[in-house]
Structure 1
């Protein structure tokens, strides 16, 4: 059987047999013609990223980049699949595209709806997922000046975008991904909340953008105004409707608690919509002075401005646990910091070698040079350190790892600015101004930033890493998540249609069994997502979030019998803790079908808990 193979001097796990699903995902999604395994892909990607270096130094950097990939840096899927190939594909995973209120014109710098549709189609054709804020589209029934017709509202136009996503085949046969965002004070917010109740919009994730004013109104049991800049028109004019001093038209008023309850009951029933806390997102933004963030990429880990993009990569934390499962198990901070610094350079290089679906996306990216370095395998790494994910010591260790990542990444970007120049919109006064993420850095780091600048406006993002963790990390736990189950049945879509089921095991369990034997009892650190409280999931995000400048993609898994009141409280706690958003999912609820299925099977002899099959 094929083996995962690493050089002897890298921070690597012992060799483990390559699981069939890991092999098939690797070869189907990432390997190109003539490539037969992980190291072939690593060599291609390393050579491609080195092309951004000076000509005489490319071989040296290619060798260093190759070692970084072998040591556990996992660039995002588009980089792994397309770097160094002739594919007409972007290396950037996700974008946010603006949508204006006109049909084909230009709405104060925002492209009309069908222009935005064409731009999104081109972005998806080249492999990028897209997030949109549909809040500029006038509500259903509003007056359309110069016509005898009234507006359709955002939701019918979302159906057009959904159909386009389903129709356009992206580069590398990647399924399209979209995020739709609507502000909580848009007059059509209730139609948006229920837009997927009948199974429509299957190519969208939905998120409601909540403001602090709305959340305070919920707590105080006050009404909120539903507003838009478009005039309602005579057919739906009522006594409540008037034009405010800020130019917005008031369409009506609703009790904030009633809207909140509508959002929460929909999320409780089928996992959507998620929520984005807009004011927190913008207050933390290093570039608050020159951009406003109103939407996020499809998985929510990157709030982005119009035409913004996220250049992503993750570090496999399991590769830095020394003496795993032993009483003296420890995390190698120094090796982790060194790899993080090199990963920043690699992601910065991606911005200079990638193809951009749209010229405006490229201009936006190179003005700010956003990247999103994060980690994967947190749940497994904690198990290997004998720490429970849902206990204070586990959260403290995760927080220390995130702080180490932040410090290494910001130091590396500052050093790159000294070597290559700061991003063009860098201004030390506003970048380090009160309230920004960067203002919380250490004073020595801020002194260096004032002296040399920053190469990248943003550096940190924790993304979901489903298929790259499968293909390159032996099914290590996904992103910031704990393991969903130690062993499971996973359904995989086949290129020719249909699905195939695979038995797959979590990396930490496989490593434990290799070291301790098949019959060894599992220790108390082996806790899965559904064996811990929902609050423990939120608490982990709260522990890590202060050290992540973009955002964190995290699904709070809760049991199907979670009471509505407890479920609702999770979202309120998330806002009160200063998080940037939240999505919770009741396993076994009426949410969209999962690729993982848990089936209880007989426990191993001597195991502390049953082994679940997913």
Structure 2
């Protein structure tokens, strides 16, 4: 059948028990108490067959086989929504990422938006809102002759709705953004200092280039509403408040919104002011995007040897396969709102990314965070970017460009002009099927499914840790879970072999080393990158306070930090 031999593939093919546990709890298709997917191969077959349905009938078997081959061995990992929902009866979306409509500054507008958000979360989507459009607290509501409750009150409503919604797809997640010149920005920055408030939200401040210039000049900063200055503050006071709060509560993050809009290939069609819940996808109102990640840890030939190298030919092939797979997802996915479907169809945004980056570097003997590591990652991501755009141009030749494609405007964007000459020629000849193509998302459970590879572009958190594992027979045991590179090294060299110096973890890295890796990849990524600068609890503020400035100076589109603290505790522990 799909394995090319006429026989059904067999076996679970998990390297560690954690992978099987994740598969059984998240991605194995079960309905009415019956296991439809009896093995992991059944899951790959289900997903591959489903995602080949938009193809011409005569091509479906070949395309389905190519999708299966890419997923087999965990080389290409479609996002969890795709793995769990494709080819099932479930009324779920296949897209992880959404941004809600521009919120109207009225009770009806706010409540209509909350309803839309609830419907989107119910179908499994993570969502983002920009609350900058809501009038500041205390501002007069003329029709009612009373003061406005302000944006944070609307955020509380959204948080309560998200808390209420519990689905089989997991807990909801949301992002809230606010412009740095909104009169309620100080309250927004401080909002999560209360450990009981807004726990379902991530927060990010929309930082403009003008604001960064004002910080550099130690200038005053106008907080404005409806074009009128409400009050003036010191720009550095706002910046200091952001850094202090990030140090003590791990939020807010920052989004360099002018850079995000300038780097958007679709800037001639839209203005971005919000992201999905994890910030890898800046999206327009009602925007959405399906995701898939190429697992670089599975592409290293001769790992840990002097001739170790990444298989670039396979990398290009997988990037092209991912583009076709995700383009098909757009046509197959359910959407909670017609506006989301229309936005997806008109621009055909997709997000091809990577995971297992840190493990791949370890196998090559390169320390994460070094200039050599950054150069390697930049070269890999550049390879993906060119391969993805070439595949999208070829799809456009067969299926037509995305509906709102403007050849002259799109081809003039700096990101397109930076592509390889043969890719630019293909775009000139055929156009593009997809308006935006690349992103780096957090891979979470799919990285554990794939052998506990390092997540996304993050460093290895720990080479090993203990975790309670539920076995198929219902019993539980505490098992050693190893990072994939460590597991492979011990498999090749013996369980007692000492790990080489290329094994570094998040706690070994300085903030600037984290930022260096993010900046290197961002040069060849259309959208954003979900990346957390993990810091030890005992890092002094003096060593922490420049991290967002470093991210801005190095060309990142945003930055998020995490330091264990009294408000959020420690998310992970060894």
Task: Evaluate the alpha carbon distance shift between residue 492 and residue 440 of structure 1 in structure 2; reply closer, same or farther with a 3 A threshold.
Answer: farther
Question: Equivalent residue for 1:375?
Answer: 354
Following the alignment from structure 2 to structure 1, what is the Cα–Cα distance between the partners of residues 272 and 479?
A: 40
- Asked if the contact 1:490/1:597 (under 8 Å) is kept, the reply is no
Deviation by residue 1:142-175 (Cα, 9 ceiling, x = unmatched): 01122221101100110100000011123x3411
Greater Cα offset, 50-59 or 292-301: 50-59
Q: Aligned in 2, Cα 1:55/1:205: closer, same or farther, shift over 3 Å?
A: same
Cα deviation code 1:234-266 (max 9, x no counterpart): xxxxxxxxxxxxxx1211111000000001000
2:56, 2:330 → 1: CA distance? 15
Structure 1 residue 539 and structure 2 residue 516: aligned?
Answer: yes
In the alignment of these two chains, the number of paired residues is 555
How far 1:226 moved relative to its partner?
0.4
Deviations 1:35-59 (A, max 9, x none): 1332111010000001010122212
5+ long unaligned stretches in structure 2: 6-11, 31-35
* TM alignment of 1:78-117, pairs within 5 A: 78-105=81-108, 112-117=109-114
- 1:103 Cα deviation (Å)? 3.2
Measured after TM superposition, the shift of residue 444 of structure 1 is 3.2
User: CA offset at residue 594 of structure 1?
Assistant: 4.2
Deviations 1:80-118 (A, max 9, x none): 00000000101010100024243354xxxxxx1000000
CA deviation string 1:354-383 (max 9, x = no partner): 111100000001110000000100000111
Structure 2 residue 165 is matched with structure 1 residue 168: yes
* Distance of aligned partners of 1:148 and 1:17 in 2 relative to their CA distance in 1, 3 Å threshold: closer
- 1:317 corresponds to: 296
Q: Which residue of 1 aligns with 2:137?
A: 140
Q: Which moved more, 1:440-449 or 1:81-90?
A: 440-449
CA distance in 2, matches of 1:549, 1:533: 26
Q: Map residues 379-458 of structure 1 onto 2, 5 A cutoff.
A: 379-434=358-413, 436-458=414-436
- Helix, strand or coil: the match of 1:132? strand
The alpha-carbon distance between structure 1 residues 362 and 526, as it changes in their structure 2 partners (threshold 3 A), is same
Partner Cα distance (1:124, 1:135) in 2: 22
Match of 1:182 among 161, 178, 181: 178
d(CA) in 2 for partners of 1:377, 1:18:
15
For residues 55 and 552 of structure 1, the distance between their equivalents in structure 2, rounded to whole angstroms, comes to 37
Which is further off, 425-434 or 545-554?
A: 425-434
Q: Quick check: 1:321–1:331 contact (8 Å CA) kept in 2?
A: yes
2:52 alignment partner in structure 1: 50
Match of 1:37 in 2: 39
Instruction: Give the structure 2 partner of residue 275 of structure 1.
Output: 254
> Residue 21 of structure 2 contacts residue 469 of structure 2 at CA under 8 Å; is this kept in 1?
no
Partner Cα distance (2:403, 2:494) in 1:
56
Distance change (3 Å), C-alpha of 1:479 and 1:491: farther
Matched, 1:124 2:100: no
Distance, in Å, in 1 between the alignment partners of 2:463 and 2:365 is 16
Shift of 1:501: 6.8
Moved more, 72-81 or 394-403: 394-403
Structure 1's 307 and 389: CA in aligned 2 closer, same or farther, altered over 3 A?
Answer: same
Name the structure 1 match of 2:572: 596
Q: Secondary structure at the match of 1:523?
A: coil
Q: Structure 2 vs 1, CA of residues 447 and 57 (structure 1 numbering), >3 Å: closer, same or farther? A: closer
Q: How does 1:462-541 map to 2 (within 5 A)?
A: 462-471=440-449, 473-490=450-467, 503-541=480-518
How many angstroms does 1:563 deviate by? 2.2
Q: 1:522 to 1:369 in 2, by over 3 A?
A: same
Tell me the equivalent position of 1:342.
321
**What do residues 4-30 of structure 1 show as CA deviations (whole Å, max 9, x unaligned)?**
xx999xxxxxx9864333222211111
Asked if 1:565 is matched to 2:542, the reply is: yes
Runs of 4+ in 1 over 6 A off after TM superposition: 491-494
SS at match of 1:195: helix
Partner Cα distance (1:99, 1:169) in 2: 25
Superposed CA offset, 1:312-352 (max 9, x none): 00011011100000111111100111111011100000000
Which secondary structure does the structure 2 equivalent of 1:597 belong to?
coil
Pairing of 1:223-262 with structure 2 (within 5 A): 223-229=220-226, 248-262=227-241
Contact 2:14 2:20 in 1 (8 A): no
1:284-335 deviation line (CA, Å, top 9, x unaligned): 1111111000000100100000000021000110111000001111111001
Q: Following the alignment from structure 2 to structure 1, what is the Cα–Cα distance between the partners of residues 521 and 102?
A: 32
1:27 touches 1:36 (CA, 8 Å); kept in 2? no
Q: Distance in 1 between matches of 2:550 and 2:311?
A: 33
The change in CA–CA distance for 1:26 and 1:136 in structure 2 (over 3 A counts) is same
Per-residue deviation at 1:574?
0.8
**Matches of 2:300 and 2:254, distance apart in 1:** 34
1:418 & 1:486 partners in 2: Cα distance? 46
Contact 2:103 / 2:130 at 8 angstroms: preserved in 1?
no
Say if 1:402 and 1:265 are closer, same or farther in 2 by CA, change over 3 A.
same
Deviations 1:190-236 (A, max 9, x none): 1111111111111000000000000110010001110112xxxxxxx
| 1:429, distance to aligned residue in structure 2 (A) | 1.6
In structure 2, distance between residues paired with 1:159 and 1:493? 36
Q: What is residue 8 of structure 2 aligned with on the other side?
A: none
Change (3 A) 1:190 1:357: same
Contact 1:490/1:595 (CA < 8 Å) preserved in 2? no
Q: 2:338 aligns with which of 359, 369, 376?
A: 359
Q: Does structure 1 conserve the Cα–Cα contact (< 8 Å) formed by 2:193 and 2:567?
A: no
Determine if the alignment matches structure 1 residue 459 to structure 2 residue 455. Answer: no
Alignment match, 2:153: 156
Cα distance in structure 2, aligned partners of 1:334 and 1:462 = 20
Distance 1:466 1:136, change over 3 A: same
